Chain A
Amino acid sequence: MEEVRIGVFVCDCGSNIAGFLDVPEVVTYARTLPNVVFAKENLYSCSETGITEIKNGVKENNLTRVVVASCTPRTHEPTFRSACVEADLNPFYFEMVNIREHCSWVHMQDREKATDKAKDLVRIGVAKAALLEAQESIVANVNTRVLVIGGGVAGLTAAVSFSRRGFEVVLIEKERKPGGRLNDLYMLYPYNIKASDVIEQKISDATSSPLIEIHTSSVIKSVKGYVGNYEVCVDVDDGKSLDISCGVIVVATGASVLEPWGLYNYDGQNIITQLELEKRLKRGDLSVGSIVMVQCVGARIEKRNYCSKICCMTAIKNATLIKEANSGTNIFILYEDIQCYGVEGEALLRKAKEVGVRFVNCDTAKPPAMGDRSIKVYHQALGREVELRYDLLVLSTPMIAREDATALSRLLRVPTDESGFFLEAHVKLRPIDFATDGIYLCGSAHWPADVRESISQAMGAVARASIHLTRGFVEVDPIVSTLADEDLCVGCGLCAALCPYGAIEIIETPKGKKANMISVACKGCGVCGSTCYHRAIKMNHFSNEQISAQIAAVAGS
């Protein structure tokens, strides 16, 4: 067994630490701790002088472990790890103790107690340091083929962008032809571009690319693997199944539109959804005298409490188009709130008013009531009920998560939110990533998105995914779980069931079923390690022994 020789460096941080606790006393105390052979005060441990002092300390005293008691690991842990490396020590032979944010800064009025606490914290750090083990970073190759799930505007955009970067793409579409929702739409706001022009261009770009392979009428059956190395099995058109190896996956499965059966006497004939109106406009067979549109049908209610965000603009656009084609048509839009964000949105709303579309602000407490070919509504501005006759009643219903989204989310082991839409890793910091590395998200599968948003998200997802693809390998911190004792593992699968990242699989081995840790996919959370009742799992750098030693050190022993 090698001798453990710990060096402790206590930082003054100028007066940030030394001003509020007795650093020399902490240094003297550190010298009394087991395995500590050297302790020193630094004016600024992180400065060039400080780093040199640490490196010299290691060399002159043959230190095998280094403890720095200073600030938060968030800022300087990498700095000190590099110093260890320069002094020929493994970077994981380093332990950081925070006596600034956790001590001097927060106990400024009590120098004595702050000093005591700093001593305790150093003792806890030293206890762990004695048990530190060398670690090596984990690297895996990345397969540069890409899987895109969904052949709508988002999926096609992603596929084409990947191919332009030179990556091979397999695109899986559930329907018989690609194009998604845009196949049904007429004109796209804000500039009234024909949906068919946009989508036909995308389809032709994708089909003409030699790098893109499109499978229609196809459904994902199983997903295995991790970033860089996914194995996906797909049921394809002709009843056969197809195995796809890929490095990254983009989810672009879109959303459905609510059919409001049971609301406003919806019948799909004279009472239709905004989507059905688009289809009629596209066919060009619309001639009616009066149209009433109702916003937020089945949306922003208790069961579906979100705003679908695109329906207001769709209604405004359709109403304006109809009015411009035939100024004799009467159009009313009944709304509670209007969502027309963006510069163009506001302009379109103004234009709709100019061409004579009438907006009626309803009161949530007094919802419209159906009459015979008419709808009665309390007009807030007039302060009384009005009855509006219609030939066509158009209901603006929200986009809703696809029914099969949950099944797909389980296969991919990525989460959905309470409305069933796919959930990103972080709302602001990682809006198009999933928490699981190597899987990305774009378009309405995430949240109702219009065409522009879907396209930008798709391009963003491609950019994010390309980080792995262009690097060609993934490197992860070695703070991961390992199956330390294969014989202890009984292959029960509880760890695999609880791992948030699908980083554990149960495999058949000559010794029976065993857990297999996929290190590149593991994030080191430790859920598996704290779950295994056979103690077969070891968490690198946060082992049971290390934590136990720290617990004992808290109590002073």
Chain B
Amino acid sequence: MQYVPDIRTIRVMCTGRIDPSMILEAFLHGVDGVLILGCREGECHYVTGNIEAANKIDMTSRLMKIIGIDSDRLYFGHLSSAEGARFVELAEGFTKRIREIGPLGREIKEDKEVLKFRLEAAKAAVESEKLRWVIGKKTEFMDQGNKYGERFTRHEIGRLLDGILMDEISVKEIQLLLQERPLSVRDVSERIDLPPHRVLRYIAGLRRKGVVRLEGTDGVSPLYSLQG
């Protein structure tokens, strides 16, 4: 049994240990792909560890799509520890796919700085309380419904998640920008390619939470900066 020598491994007790921020951290360090391997569905050594992992990984790949990174760079494969041949198949298949896509960042044809900026915002976004609750409760919402007895389909949960992800990533991008220097809504809007009314809404939210404050004006437009 032989396979491509391109993969470097990090051992964890269970795929359930993997925090979405670890995946983004790996991309921030410049790896081209993250292959997560765990027990077969329904056969998790830690009962539901790989289900929790699947929810987190699915969320992370949605986020990757949003920030323009090919989500094929993240793959969750399932196999038992007795399936060497399957390991080879997964390792080879994944490596082949990554070779097709090319080095990280190629798909967005943008410079390293933009890539880093987006990944950092994404990494901050996955710390969101709301997101963590939605992915934590995803299986329950789909199987049993929420506390109002509403059951969600995979599609509905996906839409809900995408909405929250869009909000969270935008908010974090704005925070990252304001960290550099005070900016107006228009500046921000241009930098992250988001309509001004949305930027304004997020900034208003951040001001309510006391994260952002008004910091003078640029002509007639107010400038905002991060609170101390």
Give CA–CA (A527, B51) in the complex, Å. Answer: 10
Interface size on A, as a range, is 35 or more
Q: Tell me, rounded to whole Å, the shortest Cβ–Cβ distance linking A477 to chain B.
A: 10
Q: Judge whether B132 and A557 touch: CB under 8 Å.
A: no
Contact sample, A vs B, 12 pairs, CB 8 Å cutoff: A106-B3, A109-B2, A121-B8, A124-B10, A435-B47, A498-B48, A523-B13, A527-B52, A531-B52, A542-B12, A550-B10, A551-B29
Minimum Cβ distance to chain B for residue A61 (Å): 26
The answer to whether residues A498 and B52 also contact, given A435-B47, A531-B132 and a CB cut-off of 8 A, is yes
Q: Which residues of A contact B128 (CB under 8 A)?
A: 533
Q: Does A376 touch B at the CB level, under 8 Å?
A: no
- Which residues 92-118 of A have a CB within 8 angstroms of B? 98, 102-103, 105-110, 113-114, 116-117
Partner of B13 from A102, A524, A548 at Cβ < 8 Å = A524
A286 to B175, CA, bound (A): 83
Cβ A494 vs Cβ B8 within 8 A: no
Residues of B within 8 A of A547 (CB): 10, 12, 17, 22
The one of B30, B88, B133 that contacts A494, using a Cβ cutoff of 8 Å: B133
CB pair B3 A526 closer than 8 Å: no
Query: What residues of A have a CB within 8 angstroms of the CB of B14 in the complex?
Result: 525-527
Whole-angstrom CA separation of A479 from B137 in the bound complex: 26
Pairwise interchain contact B127-A533, C-beta atoms closer than 8 A: yes
A-B contact count (CB 8 A): 116
CB of B13 to closest CB in A, whole Å: 5
Is A409 among interface residues, defined by CB-CB distance under 8 A? no
Give a binary string over B1-43; 1 marks a CB under 8 Å from any A CB, 0 the rest. 1110100111111101111101001100111000000000000
Q: Does B182 touch A at the CB level, under 8 Å?
A: no
How many residues of chain B get a CB closer than 8 Å to chain A's CBs?
36
Measured between alpha carbons, how far is A108 from B3 in the docked complex, in Å?
Answer: 9
Question: When the two chains form their complex, are residues A494 and B136 in contact, meaning their CB atoms are under 8 A apart?
Answer: yes
Question: Considering the chains assembled together, what is the distance between the CA atoms of A529 and B20 in angstroms?
Answer: 11
| Contact of A555 with B5 in the complex, beta carbons under 8 Å | no
Which residue in chain A gives the minimum CB-CB distance to B129? A533
Q: Which residue of B lies closest to A413 (CB)?
A: B47
A551 touches B25 (CB 8 A): yes
Contacts of B133 in A (CB 8 A): 494
Cβ contacts under 8 Å, B48 to chain A: 498, 500, 527
Chain B residues lying within 8 Å of A103, measured Cβ to Cβ, are 5
Known: A117-B8, A494-B136, A542-B17. 9 other contacts (CB 8 A): A98-B9, A106-B1, A524-B13, A525-B49, A527-B52, A550-B10, A554-B10, A555-B26, A555-B29
Residues of B within 8 A of A121 (CB): 8-9
- B56 interface residue (CB < 8 Å to A): yes
Bits for A80-96, please: 1 = Cβ < 8 Å to B, else 0: 00000000000000000
CA A555 to CA B103, docked complex, whole Å: 13
